[in-house]
Amino acid sequence: MKNHKAFGHSIGQFQHNGLPLADLVTRIEVARAFIDQYAIAHVGAELTPIDAANANAESCFSQVQNDVIAHCVEVRGGRAI
């Protein structure tokens, strides 16, 4: 994003691109925190069937991945998914 330019400026400097990127970073960090907690519980043999079901139900992690990819494609000039 730093090297890709439009109107003489890095596209990361445009508010239109910066705010969604900040949102996506936040969503990625939240997903990582959940995944880390489930992994720690699993390794420690503390993952209950209910927690495992919650981890599966929170498969919105793949939605976060799709949103990140779609935004990156859109910013680079392609069509979003």
User: What's the pLDDT at 68?
Assistant: 86
Mean pLDDT across 59-64: 76
For the chain, give the mean pLDDT.
76
User: What's the pLDDT at 63?
Assistant: 83
Give phi and psi for 47, each to the nearest 5: -80, 115
Closest by CA position to 38, among listed 23, 59, 24: 59
Return d(Cα 63, Cα 77) in angstroms, integer.
21
User: What's the pLDDT at 12?
Assistant: 57
Mean pLDDT across 60-77: 81
Helix (H) or strand (E) holding 7: none
- Evaluate if residue 1 carries a pLDDT over 60: no
Residue matched to tokens 């990625």:
28
10-40 pLDDT, tens digit per residue, is 655 655 666 778 888 898 898 888 888 888 9
DSSP assignment of 20-77: HHHHHHHHHHHHHHHHHHHHHHHHTT---HHHHHHHHHTTHHHHHHHHHHHHHHHHTT
